[in-house]
Amino acid sequence: MTMDDKLQAFLAKDRVPSSDPAFMARLDESMARIRLWSQMRASAAFAIAIAAVAFGLYRAVGPQAFTWLNDFTLAMTGTPGLALAAIIVAAALYLPRLLQGRLKV
């Protein structure tokens, strides 16, 4: 074995196998965690903004203006078919966003 061969064998010691599921799983986990935190931060900011606007409206126009919300809630709970339809519509609107990163390549 020449000195060059020995050097090459020594350097080859650092070579990584072409497939390492454990390494990739760790990477996927890190990416998922970062994405979740980012979505939570965005959702929290959105929820705070909505709450602030709702609170502002409530203070500005008074509780009478929100009686429609009460009526809507009563209608929903009294009509299961309507509630089911609302859930289906909400899912249809939200699913493409949820699956966006999974379907495109």
Partner 1 sequence: MSLASDAQLVAAARRGSDLAFEQLARRHSPALRSFLRGVCRNHAWADDVAQNTLIRAWQRLDQLKDPSAFKSWLFGTGWRLVAEDRRAAGRRAKREQDWSDTQAQMSPEGISPDETMALEAAMQALTADQRAAISLCLAGGWSHGEAAQALDMPTGTIKSHIKRGRAKLLAVLGERK
Residue type, 102: R
Cα–Cα distance for residue pair 35/97, rounded to 1 Å: 13
At its nearest, how many Å lie between partner 1 and the CB of residue 20? Answer: 7
Site for partner 1, rule CB under 8 A: 1, 3-20, 23-24, 26-28, 30-31, 34, 100-102, 104-105
**How far does the chain reach from its first CA to its final CA, in angstroms?**
47
Burial class (CB in 10 A: 0-12, 13-18, 19+), 36: exposed
60 versus 98: smaller Cβ distance to partner 1 = 98
At its nearest, how many Å lie between partner 1 and the CB of residue 93? Answer: 18
14 versus 81: smaller Cβ distance to partner 1 = 14
